[in-house]
Amino acid sequence: MSSEEPLTFEALVVLIGYSGSLCVLFMIHFGFATRRWRRDRDMRSFRNFLIGLLLAVSTLTIFGGSLARLFPELIDAVRFFGYIIRGMLLVGGIVVVYTWLRSDADE
């Protein structure tokens, strides 16, 4: 099935439900990672916090893309926020690697 072909309503509901449940799951993980980072304040918990943030934000993009399939007027907004999120993932990926190198050098 190509991206030009319209999806049936049932397929859209499954796509939105699946991406929404992933989004909620990663938001819960992000919440627990934030709580641990605020408690411990070490590099490992910061890295866990950052990875949780990147996962939560990337699943928001997937959820927004699935909503844009249902509501075509959201396509421009999802595309705009997608560019911002890609930049965030690029910088976040570099910072995660830095935290791995930094925690290895500190030990």
Residue 80 lies in a domain: yes
State how far the Cα of 71 lies from the Cα of 75, in Å rounded to an integer. 8
Residue 3 lies in a domain: no
pLDDT at 107 over 60: no
Q: Which domain holds residue 68?
A: 9-106
- Residue 81: the pLDDT is 93
DSSP result, 87-99: HHHHHHHHHHHHH
Residue 23: which H helix or E strand, with range? helix 9-40
- What is the tally of structural domains in the chain? 1
Residue 17 lies in a domain: yes
Q: What is the pLDDT of residues 56-96, one digit of tens each?
A: 999 998 999 888 988 889 999 999 999 999 999 999 999 98
Residue 30 lies in a domain: yes
Indicate whether this model's pTM tops 0.85: no
